A = this chain, B = another copy of it.
Amino acid sequence: MTAPVNRQIVLAARPAGMPKATDFRLETTPVAEPGPGQILVRNIWMSVDPYMRGRMNDRKSYAPPFEVGKPLDGRAVGQVLKSNHPKLKEGAVVSNMQGWREYFVSAGEGITPLDASLPLSAYLGVLGVPGFTGWYGLKEIGKPKAGETLVVSGAAGATGSLVVQMGKILGCRVVGTAGTDEKCAYVRRELGADAAINYKTAGDCVDALREACPKGVDIYFENVGGPILDAVLRLLNPQARIPLCGMISQYNLEIPDPGPRYLFSMIANRALMQGFIISDHFDRYGEFVGEVGGWLKQRSIKSEETVVEGIENAPKAFLGLFSGDNLGKMVVRLAPDPPASDRK
């Protein structure tokens, strides 16, 4: 048996505007042997997420910038192949932050063993950071009450699709926006939204939203940025809440687009808008997994994924986020799921 070779994706150049395939490079490195106290992990699934675009710029933000010539990183799920670590056993399925590569050696920092009875890729989506983000933002900032109207942008995406379903479970009227008719159909039929609006064909969205929200808007869960927020502002109810989760439409712009004209509605309606970063709230992760994992096991919620095969296609998967190629969570499969009998 030949020694395995690690393939990884390196940031070849900092993108200007929309990233291109040539901003990434596939590299091959030998797989190291784990030293004392170390483990060797083979990644099975890796995540591509919109926030990674910000880390490709040479600007300090809430996460440190990626370095040119170095492998990218991000959330992944892998399996421990070899272990000299006292607690992390061979066969253990683990969450880690060493995505964008097939193999890595670690002393165990940031490595979390997972309940391997759940679908492993779910830990990158509905049970991972995207789901956790939706759960926290809706619950703690959106504070939904039964009978209220919740609008969710990016409703067919990894975060939005959980927010839509949570809104229904909590008794809200839920209206989603998405960028294709197929996604809108999915948001209505599969996720259970009361209405869905294709923002690419609905003009400024004001008329479509007014029709879909006859009692106004109490909560707007913002994943996208741009004109939808402005349309929602015109329909706000008093005491409305706007959790700001993401603004994917703006991430590839050198200078962001002008913002909403109707900010005064925030005053007239005593509205609240709050940005949040889920890494501030990891102390709530157990509570989240308990609640959402429970819904998942009871099949009260659905979780869709768009799967791209192979590390060599990870840049393509990432770029696809910005053209809306994904329904649900975009994930990259780096290796086959181990059979249940091999998971520890």
Asked if A259 and B256 sit within 8 Å, CB to CB, the answer is no
Asked if B268 and A264 sit within 8 Å, CB to CB, the answer is no
Majority secondary structure, A binding face: mixed
Q: A258-B259, A259-B258, A259-B259 are in contact. Are A273 and B264 (CB under 8 A)?
A: no
Asked if B264 and A261 sit within 8 Å, CB to CB, the answer is no
Complex: A246 Cα to B261 Cα, angstroms: 14
Tell me which of B61, B261, B270, B277 contacts A257 (CB under 8 A): B261
Complex: A265 Cα to B256 Cα, angstroms: 11
A224 to chain B, nearest CB (A): 11
Asked if A245 and B267 sit within 8 Å, CB to CB, the answer is yes
Asked if A267 and B246 sit within 8 Å, CB to CB, the answer is yes
| A274 partner residues in chain B, CB cutoff 8 A | 266, 270-273
Tell me which of B244, B261, B262 contacts A263 (CB under 8 A): B244
Asked if A273 and B277 sit within 8 Å, CB to CB, the answer is no
* Residue picked from A61, A229, A245, A246, most chain B C-beta under 10 Å: A61
Interface size on A, residues (CB 8 A): 35
Asked if B262 and A261 sit within 8 Å, CB to CB, the answer is no
- Which chain A residues (229-264) contact chain B, with CB distance < 8 Å? 229-230, 244-247, 250, 255-264
- A62: nearest residue on chain B (CB-CB)? B268
Asked if A280 CB lies within 8 Å of chain B CBs, one says yes
Complex: A62 Cα to B266 Cα, angstroms: 11
| A277 partner residues in chain B, CB cutoff 8 A | 267-268, 270
| A246 partner residues in chain B, CB cutoff 8 A | 267
Asked if A295 CB lies within 8 Å of chain B CBs, one says no
Asked if A275 and B280 sit within 8 Å, CB to CB, the answer is no
Tell me which of B247, B250, B264, B271 contacts A256 (CB under 8 A): B264
A263 to chain B, nearest CB (A): 5
A241 to chain B, nearest CB (A): 10
- A238: nearest residue on chain B (CB-CB)? B62
A152 to chain B, nearest CB (A): 16
- Which chain A residues (115-161) contact chain B, with CB distance < 8 Å? none
| A256 partner residues in chain B, CB cutoff 8 A | 261-264
Asked if A225 CB lies within 8 Å of chain B CBs, one says yes
Complex: A257 Cα to B230 Cα, angstroms: 12
Asked if B259 and A266 sit within 8 Å, CB to CB, the answer is no
A27 to chain B, nearest CB (A): 30
| A263 partner residues in chain B, CB cutoff 8 A | 225, 229, 244, 247, 256, 259-260
Asked if A276 and B280 sit within 8 Å, CB to CB, the answer is no
**Given A260-B263, A266-B274: 5 more A-B contacts, CB < 8 Å:** A54-B268, A62-B269, A244-B266, A247-B264, A269-B275
Interface residues of A (CB under 8 A from B): 54, 61-62, 225, 229-230, 244-247, 250, 255-277, 280
Interface pairs (28), CB distance under 8 Å: A54-B268, A62-B268, A62-B269, A225-B263, A229-B263, A230-B259, A244-B267, A247-B263, A247-B264, A255-B261, A256-B264, A257-B261, A258-B258, A258-B260, A259-B260, A259-B263, A260-B263, A265-B275, A266-B275, A267-B277, A268-B275, A268-B277, A270-B275, A271-B274, A271-B275, A272-B273, A272-B274, A272-B275
